Amino acid sequence: MPANLPPPYFEAEKRYREARTAEEKIEALEEMLTIMPKHKGTDKLRADLRRRIAKTKTEAQQKKGSSKRDASYSIEREGAAQVVLTGAPNTGKSSLLGALSNARPEVADFPHSTWKPTPGMVPYENIQFQMVDTPPITREYMDPWMADLLRRADILAILLDLHADPLQQLEDTLAVFRVLRIYPKGEAIPADLKKSPFIKKCLLVLNKMDDDKDEADYTAFLELSETRLPCVGVSVLAGRNFHVLLKELYSISEIIRVYTKVPGKEPDFTAPFVLPEGSPLEELAEKIHKDFVDQLKFAKVWGKNVFDGQMVQKDHILQDGDIVEMHI
């Protein structure tokens, strides 16, 4: 199918060829991308433009110094935990984010359709995870700014394509992680590592588990990979196992939900406070209001490891689902 590009596209292309600075080149490339019609005939050209934009931005950042990171790639953390989707090209990261959230990343059947991080909020029961779609990573190339995003994330969800050699995809992704000094939680750290590692909670997500045959392939992957990482098989196409995926994300997030109430009233179960596992009552008080820590005399707790309404002090360790009544 011909591209049928309009005249303004060629004008922007001319400005790109004549540009002397990275900013001018990026502006022209992004204009070309905006002007270009979206159809099958322009798929490869659009993918090439995105790669050129990413490469030009990367080169510009390297010249300015690594401390001057492009603000457009800085994703402010929201929700209960930040989950970064990562992995090889065409594993379904954008499709998964689009299916689980209100975000609308561009989805295409060619590699590198994602060229910048796209966040979306994913509801799970009465909380939300922030899920971030990212450009693919390979042994050959990864945008340098991706390292910071991966290292800052709470959870790394590694997308694998069940139909396209997931064993190799996993090996390649973990090899890239090791170059970045990122190691899944529980994995051995090399003794000769000269700089501090980044220990991350990781989840393997095998996409395209669409039917019974794919379930057998998923089981074979688990046996052959001998992975100790938590793993979930999903089908974005069929909307399969999404709840299992979100439940597993909550399980490995190492967070708890705590509810508060005032004397004589019922707690609000729609808006829990989210805290790290092992948090004492004092941490909840500080999250409610900074002055509560000093003013708090005691609290009553309903939930696990206590009898209903048990009086506790600031150092009491809270459990998932606890209901707390503060007394100041």
CB 327 within 8 A of CB 298: yes
- Inside any domain, residue 313: yes
Residues facing residue 231 across a β-bridge: 204
Q: Which of 253, 280, 313 is the last residue of a domain?
A: 253
The reported pLDDT for the residue numbered 70 is 44
- Rg of the chain taking only CA atoms, in angstroms: 24
Q: Which of 253, 280, 296 is the last residue of a domain?
A: 253
The reported pLDDT for the residue numbered 30 is 81
Claim to verify: residue 249 and residue 263 sit in the same structural domain: no
Q: What is the pLDDT of residues 212-230, one digit of tens each?
A: 899 999 999 999 999 999 9
pLDDT at position 65 over 60: no
Q: What is the pLDDT of residues 69-84, one digit of tens each?
A: 444 467 888 999 999 9
Average pLDDT (112-129) is 83
Q: What is the pLDDT of residues 286-308, one digit of tens each?
A: 888 877 778 888 999 999 889 99
pLDDT at position 112 over 60: no
Claim to verify: residue 159 and residue 245 sit in the same structural domain: yes
Q: What is the pLDDT of residues 151-176, one digit of tens each?
A: 999 999 999 999 999 999 999 999 99
The DSSP annotation for 43-94 comes to HHHHHHHHHHHHHHHHHHHHHH-TTS--GGG-----SS-EEEEEESTTSSHH
The reported pLDDT for the residue numbered 54 is 77
C-alpha span between 273 and 323 (Å, rounded):
10
Phi, psi of 78 (to 5 degrees): -135, 165
Half-sphere exposure of 90 (CA within 13 A, CB side): 9
The reported pLDDT for the residue numbered 71 is 43
Claim to verify: residue 123 and residue 140 sit in the same structural domain: yes
Name the residue with higher pLDDT: 5 or 103: 5
C-alpha span between 238 and 195 (Å, rounded):
43
What is the residue range of 34's domain? 7-64
> What separation in angstroms does the CA of 200 have from each of 111, 150, 151, 203?
26, 9, 8, 10
Mean pLDDT (the chain, rounded): 87
Claim to verify: residue 17 and residue 123 sit in the same structural domain: no
Give every CB contact of residue 7 below 8 A, 6+ residues apart in sequence: none
Average pLDDT (36-58) is 78
Claim to verify: residue 165 and residue 101 sit in the same structural domain: yes
- Inside any domain, residue 1: no
Look up the pTM and report it: 0.75
- Inside any domain, residue 2: no
Claim to verify: residue 37 and residue 151 sit in the same structural domain: no
Claim to verify: residue 186 and residue 152 sit in the same structural domain: yes
Residue 245's domain is classified under what CATH number? Answer: 3.40.50.300
Nearest to 101 by CA among 80, 117, 124: 124
Element (H, E) at 302: strand 298-302
Claim to verify: residue 265 and residue 279 sit in the same structural domain: yes
Total count of domains within the chain? 3
Q: Which of 25, 49, 64 is the last residue of a domain?
A: 64
Average pLDDT (195-218) is 93
Claim to verify: residue 76 and residue 157 sit in the same structural domain: yes
Claim to verify: residue 246 and residue 280 sit in the same structural domain: no
- Inside any domain, residue 52: yes
